[in-house]
Chains A and B, each alone.
Chain A
Amino acid sequence: MGRLTTTSLLTWACALVAILLAISVTEANQSADLAIKVAKLNDKASKAKGIIELDSATFEEVLAMPRNYSMVILFTALSPQFQCAPCKNFDPEYKLTAAGWSKLPVKSQLYFGVLDFKVGQSVFQKFNMNSAPSVLYFPATGALSSPPPFDRYDFAKSGFQAEPFASWLSAKAEVQLKVQRPFDFLAFAVKAIGFSGLLALGHILYGRAGKVMRSKYLWAALSLFTIFVMISGHMWNQIRHPPYTMTSRDGRPGFIAAGFQNQFGLETQIVAVMYAVLCGAVISLISSVPRTEDPSKQRLAIWVWLTLFGIMFSILLHFFRLKNPAYPFRLLF
């Protein structure tokens, strides 16, 4: 019994050693493989300002398990036939972020990849991706056996700018990525020239068009326009970006948004016009009517403006009741 135990123990020990050896060999192999891979990636990335261009095959390759680096990949569609405007907008911002890669203390922490739809359709299908651009972040696998879940950058929340993207990525990959916008000499030059041009133009015009600039009617028109635009909720549109109109479903007019705190683009314009008409009626009643010499013409003018005033106000109230059905007041209808 005792001998048997010893033998079996020995056998077990041998087996264990063998297994350990095998593991260390594969690990050595793997780490050698990894080192080659990383070297390749470093090479590629440093050649293209930190960005590694991928296609379906290389995509699988760089993401193959195991990997000791994280990978952020931009799925984009830059070919003209897709007409992907956001892709084009985000591309320079992504490149700007990737430019910070070369300043990372440990290069093999994170790599920037780009996969265009043209060369990576199968990957797009695999990830069930219907829209571009998308940014996915694949963390390092370490010794894990199953791939860790990837993260998706939320464009809707954080926007298309490089700075929020870099801070998102820095938090994910635990690195210090800094976005350094290159000084845009061209834009600066254009602005400088444009500004001095404007100054010169102003100087030239001041003599001739000074009368126009000093005309109070111009300023009155400008001020009134600004006021009308503002009081009809334009800033709300600027901030909330509502649709311009909506197709109606249940017979409700499509240009009026349901709900008191909601509005469409067209709706605010209609309101602005209504305000302008109402205000115009008041101004006419005040200043143009008393300048009419002929009594019957004057009477006609008053009646016309007054009727317009009343009808427009009724429409406005009606409009308001559509937004707030509980509102109890009405004028004509």
Chain B
Amino acid sequence: MSAETTSTVARVLKPTILILIAVVAIASRLFSIIRFESVIHEFDPWFNYRTTQHLVKNGFYEFWNWFDEKSWYPLGRVVGGTVYPGIMVTSALIHNVLHFFNFPVDIRNVCVFLAPMFSGLTAFSAYLLTKELKDSSAGLLAAAFLGVAPGYISRSVAGSYDNEGIAIFLLVFTFYLWIKAVKTGSAFFGLLTALFYFYMVSAWGGYVFITNLVPLHVFTLLLMGRYSNRLYVSYSTFYAVGTLLSMQIPFVGFQPTRTSEHMAALGVFGLIQLFAFAELVRGYVSPKQFKTLLRSGIVAVGAVSVVGLTLLSLSGVIAPFTGRFYSLYDTGYAKIHIPIIASVSEHQPTAWTSFFFDLQMLIFLFPAGVYLCFKELKDEHVFIILYSVFASYFAGVMVRLMLTLTPVVCVSAAIAYSTLLDTYLEKSEHVLASNLKGIQAQSSVTDTPASNTPATTTTEAKAGGKKAAGKGTPAKTVTKAAESESKTHAKTHSDKKRYPIFNWDSRAMVIVQLTWFLFMFAWHCTYVTSGSYSSPSIVLASRQADGSQVIIDDFREAYYWLRKNTKEDAKVLAWWDYGYQMAGMANVTTLVDNNTWNNTHIATVGKAMATSEEVSYEVLRQHDVDYVLVLFGGVIGYSGDDINKFLWMIRIAEGVYPKEVKEVDFFTPRGEYKVDHEATPTMKNSLMYKMSYYRFAELYGGNAVDHVRGARMPAEGPTLSVLDEAYTTENWLVRIYKVKDLDILGRDLKDATAFEKGKVRKTSLLKRK
């Protein structure tokens, strides 16, 4: 086949492969739809879904000004100002466009399929990014890896309608544009980077990663002595436009000029201006004068900035790190100071098994790719190296940040894998020819060590870099940069002469083995996706002894009951985990939800759960609570129930009400957390315990065993006097209690209940005699 036909075939093949990758990426995220139905998953997505509904129904301005009085009762929540609106606006836009063309798609389906659709786009941007780093074949591999890598699928299956679903696409695409901007030095790409950065800011709090990584890249390049006008133009455009745009998001507001996590970007912006100024001055003064100027300039600027920063942080203009972010640096911080952060499972550190589970063979190809980046070490490779090192640290600290690591792992592993393939598939003649070329280029450079543009161009072309010499940038810088680059390349060629792989059998072995690993990777991804990441968590599936599948739909059953059987403005108290779901599915007013912005309010709910009926009743009355909802997994063995989360409720409540709730009281003298007859009196009297185990013993005729904790329960279950059982679902997973009104006769509710049960109290017996 001639070179021309090969390129024609490649031109057809590449889009086809990319489309197929997108199809695979989307298809592998549909397990949950096929197995269950088109339903929104988990917790946060329900809030996003609810707000999207609101946006579609009432329009953008209504959404922007929305004050949601149905959550955080009685405080309410300003939704427009406390939300990253990117994902809602995106789906509303898609919905409206489809409707404009008369495709009557329900907004729910847009929301359910949004993340898989965007994963196709993410794969495409991984292709573009890797193409900038190596070539298009590595790009295709990267796209395929990212399309199916479980680390990314975990947050983007169909129905997982969360910010991360579109944010990872934006992250990768913004990085692609940034690299493009640095390579070309064009303000246009800088502007595009800024625009997509804005989109990212509007979509996910993780934008801070970009805000820090890009300046870090610039800073490192400056340290490496690689200041160029390309860098200046791209970063200045990106920072100026991007920051101004990001401040338009109400939730971000003035943070870019105030909080510490944005300071790096600002500092580097200042630094690069100084660099540019120094470069300008250098052209007008003698070298000696310049040196003196530079020295005094550095001292002056350093002093001014140190004094300024100290003053600003002392006066409180610059805020300290926010908790969630701070816990990334000081890993012990959250545990002591903010139990609410420590309580969230996705904020836990990552065990090695999770890394392997999410990335399989990519995890060890990834460092090899980083090594290859070091071999090339152009500006864009520096970026990938920095991204790799920092993302692997962050992913280690927080499971959730596996998501930011996955793209760079895929890109870098693809570089390694495709280099392997190149090495073992390349025709021998090509290698020899390129060797010859390298030597020629080298000799021409050594012959004329001064700025030698022709030689430079050949080396550049050989290296496959498209760093166009003189694309509108001043000739001086380019020649300088190109000169140093050509030197490095020449050196690489002189001491590393390459030979082809001589034996066909070794070639074949390597290729066979690599292909086999690819197969294994695909199997692994499918296995993980289907088994672990495709559960909607609001519908559970379990297998019976005979292998048949049983669907446990208790959550929706309970929420539907609430929706149909309570009055319009019923207030339901439950632990914050279920807040979004209750608002979305049951349309009731909640006290706390997954937004967790008010720790005191959450602690109050914890207190209501952890104290005795009398104390708790007061809290319930004060907050106008009509119903209390608890999850109880003891019957079917669902381990994520409220008794297991109870310790966190106690801890959070203790943080605010140390006198009324004490964690120690819930542990037996031997320090065990027990629910059976050994349970402490405080435990047995707590509202949570009572609500969970109310009538539980009856269910088994007094011989009940809690299947989650494997505890044999006492035959005599707890009694309730301030609550009435309102509804318990099929598998007892959700239990809803109605808060009793004050007694009509003004009696204590405990006495009233006792009286109604016919148990006349002893004192009254005596009195009657």
Contact = CB atoms under 8 A, between A and B. Distances in A.
Nearest to B495: A291
B320 interface: no
Interface in A242-278: 260-263, 267-268, 271, 274-276, 278
A286 to B, nearest CB: 5
A62 to B, nearest CB: 25
A331 B527 CA distance: 16
B361 A313 contact: yes
Interface string A220-249: 100110111011111110111000000000
Nearest to B352: A233
Contacts, number: 169
B506 A235 contact: no
Given A236-B396, A261-B351, A290 B506 contact: no
Contact of B364 (A268, A282, A329): A282
Nearest to B393: A230
Contact of A231 (B355, B371, B419): B355
A227 B423 CA distance: 25
B349 to A, nearest CB: 4
B506 A275 contact: no
A159 interface: yes
B501 A302 contact: yes
Nearest to A260: B353
A230 B395 contact: yes
Most buried by A among B371, B498, B505, B517: B371
Given A236-B350, A262-B351, A292-B499, A230 B364 contact: no
B364 A278 contact: yes
B389 A293 contact: no
B755 interface: no
Interface in A188-239: 216-217, 219-220, 223-224, 226-228, 230-236, 238-239
Contact of B497 (A239, A263, A276, A291): A291
Interface in A297-333: 298-299, 302-303, 306, 309-310, 313, 316, 320, 323-324, 328-329, 331
Given A235-B331, A286-B423, A226 B506 contact: no
B367 interface: yes
B513 A306 contact: yes
A154 interface: yes
Among the interface residues B351, B424, B506, which one has the most CB atoms of the partner chain A within 10 A?
B351
A155 B352 CA distance: 29
Specify which of B353, B500, B510, B659 lies most central, judged by the most chain A CB atoms within 10 Å of its CB: B353
A163 to B, nearest CB: 9
Interface core residue of A164, A220, A231, A238 (most chain B CB under 10 Å) = A231
Interface in B729-768: none
A267 B332 CA distance: 23
A283 B501 CA distance: 15
A59 B594 CA distance: 51
Contacts of B332: 239
B192 interface: no
Contacts of A291: 496-499
B351 A329 contact: no
A235 B389 contact: no
**Which secondary structure dominates where chain A touches chain B?**
helix
Contacts of A290: 423, 431, 498-501
A132 interface: no
A282 B416 contact: yes
Interface string B314-352: 000000000000000001100110000000000001111
A231 B350 CA distance: 9
A231 B368 contact: no
A65 interface: no
Nearest to B664: A154
Contacts of A234: 396
A35 interface: no
Given A239-B332, A240-B349, A313-B517, A302 B367 contact: no
B336 A164 contact: yes
B371 A220 contact: yes
Nearest to A284: B368
A289 interface: yes
A263 B416 CA distance: 29
A309 B389 CA distance: 24
Contact of B352 (A164, A240, A268): A268
A157 B509 CA distance: 56
B374 interface: yes
A278 B496 CA distance: 23
A233 B520 CA distance: 23
A21 interface: no
A227 B388 contact: yes
A17 B503 CA distance: 117
Interface string B356-376: 110001011111101110110
B503 A298 contact: yes
B370 A299 contact: no
A287 interface: yes
B370 A298 contact: no
A302 B385 contact: no
B385 A223 contact: yes
Contacts of A217: 374
A203 to B, nearest CB: 13
B511 to A, nearest CB: 11
Nearest to B392: A230
A16 interface: no
Contacts of A268: 352
A5 to B, nearest CB: 29
A271 B352 contact: yes
B352 A159 contact: no
A105 interface: no
Interface string B217-236: 00000000000000000000
B363 A295 contact: no
Question: Which 5 interchain pairs have the tightest Cβ spacing?
Answer: A235-B396, A233-B352, A295-B502, A220-B374, A230-B392
Interface of B: 331-332, 335-336, 349-357, 361, 363-368, 370-372, 374-375, 377, 385, 388-389, 392-393, 395-397, 416, 419-420, 423-424, 431, 496-503, 505-506, 509-510, 513, 517, 520, 523-524, 527, 658-659, 663-664
28 contacts: A219-B374, A220-B371, A223-B374, A226-B389, A227-B366, A227-B370, A230-B396, A231-B352, A231-B355, A231-B392, A231-B396, A233-B350, A233-B355, A236-B352, A239-B332, A261-B353, A262-B351, A274-B364, A275-B364, A290-B431, A290-B498, A290-B499, A291-B496, A298-B501, A298-B503, A302-B510, A303-B509, A328-B527
Interface of A: 154, 157-159, 164, 171, 216-217, 219-220, 223-224, 226-228, 230-236, 238-240, 260-263, 267-268, 271, 274-276, 278-279, 282-283, 285-287, 289-293, 295, 298-299, 302-303, 306, 309-310, 313, 316, 320, 323-324, 328-329, 331
Given A283-B368, A290-B499, A324-B357, 11 more contacts: A230-B395, A231-B395, A260-B351, A263-B351, A271-B352, A279-B371, A290-B431, A295-B503, A299-B502, A302-B510, A328-B527
